[in-house]
Amino acid sequence: MAEKLDLSQFEKKMIIRPMEKKDIEHIIRMQAICFPGMEPWKVEHLESHLSVFPEGQFVAELEGKVIGSCSSLIINFDEYDDRHTWDDVTDNGYITNHNPEGYNLYGIEVMVHPDYRRMKVGHRLYEARKELARTLNLKSIIIGGRIPNYFKYAEEMSPREYVDAVSRHKIYDPVLSFQLLNGFTLMRINPNYLPDDKRSQNYATLMEWNNVDYRPQSKRHFKTSYPVRICVVQYMMRKIHSFEEFANQVEYFTDVASDAKSDFVVFPEIFTTQLMSFLNIKSPSLAVRRLSDFTEQYIELFTDLAVRYNVNIIGGSHFVKEEDDEIYNIAYLFRRDGTIEKQYKIHITPNERKWWGISAGDTVKVFDTDCGKIAIQICYDIEFPELARIATDKGANIIFTPFCTEDRQGYLRVRYCAQARAVENQIYTVISGTVGNLPQTENMDIQYAQSAIFAPSDFEFARDGIVGETNPNIEMVMIGDVDLEILRRQRQSGTVRQLKDRRHDVYKVEYLKG
């Protein structure tokens, strides 16, 4: 009997999979081969794609080798000029203009290694894009397609005549013919689309594939506003005699925020040090470790309040002893659905190190909420612009900054930096501080604050870029509305567009924990 044939030795496995960081160098080398004479991706371009919209980036792999790739982002196409360029629609290749709430998937590149053409690699990549559009319920896929054979006919034909001849199969164009076969229809021809695409004479065909499975949804209608109401608590530090007293004060402010139908209520940094006023421990470092014993009660209290009063709570911050026996300054997000997140303070002040021995965190987090993505940057952290830029690039629209400062100079550092971050990143920033005094508590004896909500500085936002602010140094709340739809529109078409106009070719902020 003949030995059974092992078919596996003949198999060649081609897969379409999500792009990974390990693929970047392969893609850059392949691009130089696929598009000679055109400037290839830089590493930071593809890293940005994976950071901003990883679902939209694919590679084709054959027996472990990357042989093709495609990149895309989501936009609202109606927001772009009819004669937009590739740089316009990709934010110069970094896709930081990606809009998760958009209607259209925009394809910015497809390439297949020349040694593997005529194996339907491109078709497979296009099908992956179509499936993504169906999964995300997008109206269409739009591409700005090259016409790389046009240079051969440029002296005898206009771009329109050339495209018409290709459409009627009189001329073959490797890109346009392929796109037509894949169900794309011509919208228009854009001049000056890719300045270094000499073979296409800088022209591109704007093509569209319509998703027949698209289901209009009310949340996807054009929004005139997306209001978020924030209640900022300026908290008075005064002597108390029990955790219950602290809990009563916190519940009072949560009730006020809930009555005003706030989406968020924000408490200050380390306001739980008020509990030290009844601990009677003179050594600051010992008092901090004793304070951390209240962590479970603190978390249970705020979780209960968030659910019961139906408001997302930024629970100020609290000193927490973790398993490594180190003390961290941690801000918690208590969502109104009962879930909890935390952000470690990354930059520790000399004062915190000297008196309390606080250890530093090392991760910039952005949290999903029912009011969009937010970040928390505790006091000193807002004074480091890199952190706010990283959070913004991760999608944050609001940065909450609980703070605790003992004098006006320290307060103004927090305030001025929070206002600067709002302008630089076209986001809203919120600062919430402690006032009053704890005379018998070492290193927490005096406080200075004027809490506020800040906006970018442009016509559609509040005058002076201040949504609202408290009076200095008295206990009170301030309630203000911010509009995320105005924020989104201003990022696209404001008087200035700090996010879109960044010079990625000159500088970059690199997040090593990403």
Which residues have C-beta within 8 Å of that of residue 323, sequence separation ≥ 6?
Answer: none
345 is catalytic: yes
* CB 465 within 8 Å of CB 486: no
How far from 487 is each of 79, 321, 366, 449, CA to CA, in Å?
A: 14, 38, 17, 27
Which residues have C-beta within 8 Å of that of residue 286, sequence separation ≥ 6?
Answer: none
Catalytic residue among 231, 379, 404, 417: 379
Catalytic residue among 269, 352, 383, 469: 269
Q: Return the residue matching tokens 């005003």.
A: 260
42 is catalytic: no
DSSP letter at 10 equals G
For 413, phi then psi, to 5°, come to: -60, -45
371 is catalytic: no
Q: Return the residue matching tokens 């739009």.
A: 142
Catalytic residue among 70, 345, 383, 469: 345
What is the Cα–Cα distance from 389 to 507, expressed in whole angstroms?
13
How far from 82 is each of 105, 415, 476, CA to CA, in Å?
A: 17, 41, 50
What is the Cα–Cα distance from 183 to 406, expressed in whole angstroms?
65
For 103, phi then psi, to 5°, come to: -100, -25
* HEC secondary structure over 107-164: EEEEEECHHHCCCCHHHHHHHHHHHHHHHCCCCEEEEEECCCCHHHCCCCCCHHHHHH
- The residues that are catalytic are 269, 345, 379
